[in-house]
Structure 1
Amino acid sequence: MTTLNKKLSRLLPLSLALLFLISGCGTNSAKSGAGASAGAGGETAVPAASQAASASSAYADYPNRPIEYVVPFSAGGGVDLVARTVVEGLSKEWGQPIEIVNKPGAGGATGAQYALKQAANDGYTVLADNVASTTMLQAGSAAAPLLLSDHEFAARVVTDAPVFVVAADAPWKDFREFSDWAKANPEKLTWTSVGPAGFSTFAVAEWLKAIGADFSKTRMVATKGASESLPLVAGGNAVLAVHTVNETSTLVKAGKLKVLAILAPERSPYYPDVPTTAEQGVEGLSVSWWTGMSFPKGTPQEIVKKWEDGVSKLSQDPDFIEKLKKLQLDPNVLTGQEFTDFVNKEAEYYTGLATQTGIRK
């Protein structure tokens, strides 16, 4: 055997031993880390902290393109005006355009279905939510096209009190006299609403139930919202409209409408001379108006949270507050679980009212 071969023969056992030691250490190391790095079926699992970091980073640049903000009522109504005020503030804050898209119809259901059922749940389609397109919609029908479970609730922005308005030349001097007339002549009472389960419908039904009038004998005049409804009443084409302080103020100031009562615990600072319904002998009324925003189910929570935080920040902005005051509104923000709990409780009450008065079919 040559000298080289002799040297190789001596080195070979040492090399094999070293290789065995290295592979053994690697196997033990893999076994000791299996619980943390392998999941069911041998798949590599990512630690929870890494998953959270990845999710957060995925939405860190949201929004990075225009957002569609769907208003399920006609332009010029309360939901629309608040939505435009909100998007003006948030688009400036986030540096991305937020485009208002009005999709009225079916008491708010048309636009709500588009935003929650047809659009992607990627945060780039938002519903300008409202009491009529959420709790009242679900309460008003046993086969409602949308349920609360279809919403990912983000934030309530404002609340407003309903007011009962009639034409400026209507014969009733106050709400008490008008209530007596409605109880005696329900078949002559016509009132406007966006649909059988609209906001005005619930307000009228609750009022008639409280005074002992027959709701079923009255007649609804269907409209697409306050901007269509109020001129009908002012022109004598319907007897009554129930809309918010914000929505009624223009025609009231113009002398076209007369406010008979405000449905609120206290008088409105915007209608200080108008007595509440309770002051005029009709107690126990609680229907109220609100608007906010929600997303389709499955929308990433990081995106929903960004809207929650954005609205909360806006509500502290003097410029935003001043713009709402010009609409005769004040911020009344609820976010997260508080908002969800609020709508669940409200839906329970409205379902009972709808059942008792015959709204729910």
Structure 2
Amino acid sequence: MKKFITCLLALFLMAGLAACASSAAITSEPEKKGGRYPERQIELVVPFAAGGGVDLVARAVAEYLSKEWGKPVIVANKTGGGGIVGARYALSEAKPDGYTALMNNNSSTTMYEAGTNRPVLRLKDHMLAARVAESPLVYAVRADAPWKDLRELTEWVKENPENLSWASVGPAGFSSFGVAEWLSAAGIDYKKTRMVSSEGASDSAAKVAGGHVLLAVHNAGEVYSLVQAGKLKVLAVQDGKRSPLYPDVPTTEELGFHGLTVKWWTGISLPAGTPEAIVKKWEAAVAKMEKDKGFIGQLEKIYLQPSYLPSAEFKRSAERELDWYAELAEEMGIRK
């Protein structure tokens, strides 16, 4: 009898252990898939000033995801260092747990690394979750400037390179690479021109409108309100086709500037080491968001186009961009 009871207890014990194991497997499966994320507030860091393209997209993303995930997504502007102060905070100082994300763009990723001798952040430090939006680059000057298009401005700069001033968030910012690529195509010495520091697109556009800087190079939407207000005019749109925002403005291709590739984009980065399940959750949420009429309407209000890329494609695209920008930075003396 004792032997029988011992065997029975052993069987009960084994059944109990199996049930526990099965229960643990069931519980861990949602975690494995990121099913429990998010459980609390998420901070979405914008490394540029409020009012620019990255900031406005971040606010649209935060609004959508707050509803989609049922947890607040809060936008935090952390400016400085051409976008690197905020990027370091989000990618190096924060825990890789998905509760701090970065709304990045070229300036805080490919351009920064290509244009900096000892970058404190590299592309490998970004878990690129998904690209969100893009826009062609435009060249804008004060409304009463004497040039009717970019070709006329280029001819003037050839004669007066030292008089060309342009605004950028830093020596390796988006505007810097846009200007460098244009000047390279025109055979003008980039180093003879002058960069004026700004906190972002809204700041630099205001500096041009106020006559403190000659040229603003930003995405098409970032200067639109000042163009509509009669403060700025656009000399060219850097694209293969005309922009619906500026139907009367020629493209750089039309004006004879071929092979110019700099284009503005923004997307989501997470810290290296973030669990793959969480990266995939962001990737899937952005894919769904880009089919949402409300979100598309928000982008249209700020004159940007949805341009979703999933994580792997986003990474490949950024790596190709980095290679070209590194070459351009070396050629034009951007790297400091």
How well do the aligned residues superpose, as a CA RMSD in angstroms?
2.2
Q: Does 1:131 align with 2:78?
A: no
- CA shift, 1:150, in A, is 0.5
Aligned to 2:252: 277
Structure-2 residue corresponding to 1:345: 320
Q: Distance in 1 between matches of 2:275 and 2:254?
A: 47
2:196 aligned with 1:212: no
Q: Aligned partners of 2:260 and 2:127: how far apart in 1?
A: 29
Alpha-carbon separation, structure 2, partners of 1:52 and 1:120 = 27
Instruction: Choose the corresponding residue for 1:332, options 307, 310, 315.
Output: 307
1:117 aligns with 2:92: yes
1:56 CA displacement: 3.5
SS in 1 for 2:245: coil
Among 238, 241, 250, the alignment partner of 2:225 is 250
CA separation of 1:110 and 1:55: change in aligned 2, threshold 3 A? farther
Aligned residue in 2 for 1:105? 80
Q: Per the alignment, do residues 190 and 52 of structure 1 end up closer, same or farther by CA in structure 2, a change over 3 Å counting?
A: farther
Q: Secondary structure at the match of 1:246?
A: coil
Equivalent position of 1:165 in the other structure:
140
**What residue in structure 2 maps to residue 151 of structure 1?**
126
2:24 matches 1:54: no
Taking structure 1 as the reference length, what is the TM-score of the superposition?
A: 0.85
CA distance in 1 between counterparts of 2:27 and 2:326 reads 42
Structure 1 residues 339 and 51, CA gap change in structure 2 (3 angstroms): farther
Q: Is the 8 A contact 1:56 1:302 kept in 2?
A: no
CA, structure 1 residues 293+220, in 2 after alignment: closer, same or farther (shift >3 Å)?
same
Higher alpha-carbon deviation: 198-207 or 316-325 = 316-325
Q: Which amino acid aligns with 1:187?
A: E
Q: Report the Cα distance in structure 1 between the residues aligned to 2:129 and 2:96, rounded to whole angstroms.
A: 13
Q: How does 1:174-189 map to 2 (within 5 A)?
A: 174-189=149-164
Q: How does 1:8-157 map onto structure 2 within 5 Å?
A: 54=28, 56-57=30-31, 59-157=34-132
Name the structure 1 match of 2:203: 228
- Aligned length in residues: 324
Contact between 2:30 and 2:36, CA under 8 Å: does it hold in 1?
A: no
Larger Rg over CA atoms: 1
Aligned match for 1:315, one of 279, 290, 305: 290
SS in 2 for 1:154: strand
Distance 1:85 1:96 in 2: 15
Shift of 1:212: 0.6
> In 2, distance between residues paired with 1:52 and 1:197?
49
Q: Secondary structure at the match of 2:166?
A: strand
Which structure 2 segments of 5+ residues have no match? 12-20
CA–CA distance in 2 between the matches of 1:79 and 1:182?
Answer: 30
Q: Secondary structure at the match of 1:308?
A: helix
Q: Which range moved further: 208-217 or 262-271?
A: 262-271
- Displacement of 1:298 in angstroms is 0.7
Contact 1:73 1:103 in 2 (8 A): yes
Q: Deviations over 1:6-49 (max 9, x none)?
A: xxxxxxxxx9xx89xx9xxx9xxxxxxxxxxxxxxxxxxx99xx
Identity among equivalent pairs (%): 54
The one-letter code of the counterpart of 2:92 is K
CA–CA distance in 1 between the matches of 2:79 and 2:263?
21
Superposition TM-score, scaled by structure 2 size: 0.92
Deviates more, 1:248-257 or 1:319-328: 319-328
How far apart, in 2, do the equivalents of 1:154 and 1:245 lie?
A: 25
Q: Do the aligned partners of residues 94 and 172 (structure 1) sit closer, same or farther apart at CA in structure 2, a change above 3 Å counting? A: same
Q: Give structure 1 stretches of 5+ with no counterpart.
A: 1-14, 27-45
